Amino acid sequence: MKSREELIRQQERLLEVYESVKDPLAGYPNVVSIGIGIKETDGQLTEEGCIKIIVSEKKSEADLEPNQVIPKEIEGVKTDIIFRKKKILLASCTVDLGNYRPIKGGIRINNIRNGSGHPRSGTLGCLAKLDSDNSWVILSNHHVLYGDSGQDGDEIGQPWVGCCCCCRTNVIAVNLDKDLSLDCAIAKVKDDIAIENNILEIMNIEGNGVTIPINGERVRKRGATTGLTSGEITYIDPSTKEITINPRPSGGPANDPGGCTNYRSGVNVFAYHGDSGSAIVNNDNEVVALLYSVSEDYSQGFANDIIRVQASLGITINTTSSAPNRVPISNLSPELPIGNDDSELNDAWIEYIEGYLEANQTGKHIKKIIERHQEEVLKLVNKHRPVMVTWQRKQGPAFVAALNRSIKNPDYVIPPEINRVSLQNLLMSMASVLEEHGSEALRKDLQKYALEVIQISRDCHTAEDFLKSIEQFDDETRIQQPSLLAN
């Protein structure tokens, strides 16, 4: 097999010839497009580069006039005439229904609006960063994230958008931008969703992160239906940068398994319905293209050059090592605030809160209660298993981190729930477990004040709301014992 360097030199030569012959070849009957590719003989791929001519109808030379017969060789490069196959988009119901957290490339995603309101799905190709603000986004196809009726701001679910009695579940991102011409789109990842900047089964994104596709190069993808499959780039259209991929024979090692024959009897496929949006990577684990469709007989896959996709959407696909995986709010420890300098922010948070509490009588009373029980509560949360388990399961660290972020950024709204747990659920659960395992003094104060704290929390959506509620109680002087907000 030729090395990548040899394939690159071959492709450079093909591109030189392509520029001089594309216009004359376009004048032949039934020619649909002209590109560069890998020569096929008796249905088998060779390693030889060629000028490929896609035609809408393939005729024998006997049925053509002499001046209508495409030369078998031009400027020392062979030609290959291929019948155009109809393309079909791939979003559909998928086989891998796993709920993946952290999210990563190669897993099932869904916008419930797809298919004129009927749930359809595809594959999360890979993670990327938005050039404008360095935030994380997921990359997939337009017809996966937006379908035929999607909008900016639509919620994207993994594996699908679910619903309970009052809200949607499994939401990982919201639609942000798209390019219909390249069938690509991005959705911004929610703050409370953990990510891993890699692709399932393919693992790390390496090399330069992305690179140009090369004819004859072996590639792989991980789709939500057919899983990990491999193929070979056999055609590149220099005008559109679209690539065609033929599946390799099935079988082979686990990290290079060939095509898949499980979904259409007798046909070896690179991709199938539900694989739309898969990132195509080369042997160096660099992303080269974004899969969007297959031929109607499923024998070929079609993908768009990733360089064009990146430029259109204003994103950058980083290598795994250069873009560390993000830990979301829900996974942060209570000691770890959000910010560029965590220790300074934490000190500032404590100083800010203490100063605010000292500013009025209600605040001073709250501070006394906190100081009275702080050491015991911290010990229970960190050392006593029943309390520790409740704190973790009910997303205590997540809500503390969200509150910390709200202190730093007044516009940040504390999520009403994290991983399907509301703030009120957290407070009620902690009040119960602390009352059961705490000291007599702690139990008495919980019985006096816990319900009031829970009620106040229902109307507070930011850290500023909590602090203003203290001022409100002081100003209105309507608090009666044994209220938490009174002396």
464-477 pLDDT per residue, tens? 788 777 766 654 44
Q: What is the pLDDT of residue 4?
A: 85
Q: What is the pLDDT of residue 17?
A: 93
Task: Give the end-to-end CA distance of the chain in Å, rounded to a whole number.
Answer: 82
Q: Mean pLDDT, to the nearest integer, of 212-235?
A: 93
Q: Mean pLDDT, to the nearest integer, of 427-434?
A: 88
Distances (CA, A) of 28 to 35, 56, 78, 85: 14, 12, 17, 19
pLDDT in tens, 75-128: 999 999 888 777 776 555 456 778 888 899 999 998 877 543 444 689 999 999
CA dist., res. 456 & res. 483, Å (int):
12
CA dist., res. 434 & res. 428, Å (int):
10
Contact present, 277 and 106 (Cβ < 8 Å)? no
Distances (CA, A) of 40 to 45, 55, 78, 205, 218: 4, 15, 11, 31, 16
Average pLDDT of the chain, as a whole number: 82
- Residue 116 backbone class (left: φ over 0; alpha: ψ -120 to 50; beta: rest): left
Contact present, 224 and 232 (Cβ < 8 Å)? no
Segment of 12-16, 158-162, 345-349, 359-363 carrying the highest mean pLDDT: 12-16
- What is the maximum span of the chain, computed from C-alpha positions, in angstroms? 104
CA dist., res. 356 & res. 4, Å (int):
64
Please tell me whether the overall predicted TM-score, pTM, comes out greater than 0.85 for this model: no
* Amino acid residing at 319: T
| CA 268 centroid distance within chain | 28
Q: Mean pLDDT, to the nearest integer, of 241-261?
A: 83
Q: Is beta strand 77-83 parallel, antiparallel or unpaired with respect to 44-55? A: parallel
Of residues 292 and 83, the one with the higher pLDDT is: 292
Here the tokens at position 424 are 């009120």
Q: Mean pLDDT, to the nearest integer, of 423-445?
A: 88
Q: What is the pLDDT of residue 486?
A: 40
Distances (CA, A) of 241 to 23, 112, 140, 214, 376: 17, 31, 18, 11, 64
Pseudo-torsion of CA 161, 167, 171, 173, nearest 10°?
120
Nearest Cα neighbor of 127 from 281, 316, 331 is 316
CA dist., res. 293 & res. 182, Å (int):
12
CA dist., res. 277 & res. 91, Å (int):
9
Q: Where in the chain is the domain with CATH 2.40.10.120?
A: 86-326
Which CATH number is 86-326 given? 2.40.10.120
Count of Cβ atoms closer than 10 Å to residue 63 Cβ: 8
Characterize 394-420 residue by residue with b for buried, 16 or more Cβ atoms within 10 angstroms of its Cβ, and e for exposed: bbbbbbbbbbbbbbbeeebebbebbbe
Assign 34 a pLDDT band (cuts: 50, 70, 90): very high
Nearest Cα neighbor of 279 from 248, 243, 311, 323 is 243
pLDDT in tens, 303-322: 999 999 999 999 999 999 88
pLDDT at 20 over 80: yes
**Residue spans of beta strands (DSSP E) within 276-333:** 279-282, 287-295, 301-305, 315-316
Assign 13 a pLDDT band (cuts: 50, 70, 90): very high
Assign 283 a pLDDT band (cuts: 50, 70, 90): very high
Question: Which three-class secondary structure state does DSSP give residue 163?
Answer: strand
Name, in order, each residue with C-beta under 8 angstroms of 59's C-beta and a sequence gap of 6 or more: 30
Of residues 7 and 339, the one with the higher pLDDT is: 7
Assign 378 a pLDDT band (cuts: 50, 70, 90): confident
For the ranges 13-17, 99-103, 197-201, 456-460, the lowest mean pLDDT is seen at 456-460
Q: Dihedrals φ, ψ of 404, to 5°?
A: -60, -40
Assign 325 a pLDDT band (cuts: 50, 70, 90): confident
Q: Facing residues of 45 across strands?
A: 40
Contact present, 484 and 369 (Cβ < 8 Å)? yes
Assign 344 a pLDDT band (cuts: 50, 70, 90): very low
Percent of the chain whose pLDDT exceeds 70: 84
Long-range CB contacts (within 8 A, 24+) of 476-481: 479/362
**Residue spans of beta strands (DSSP E) within 264-358:** 279-282, 287-295, 301-305, 315-316
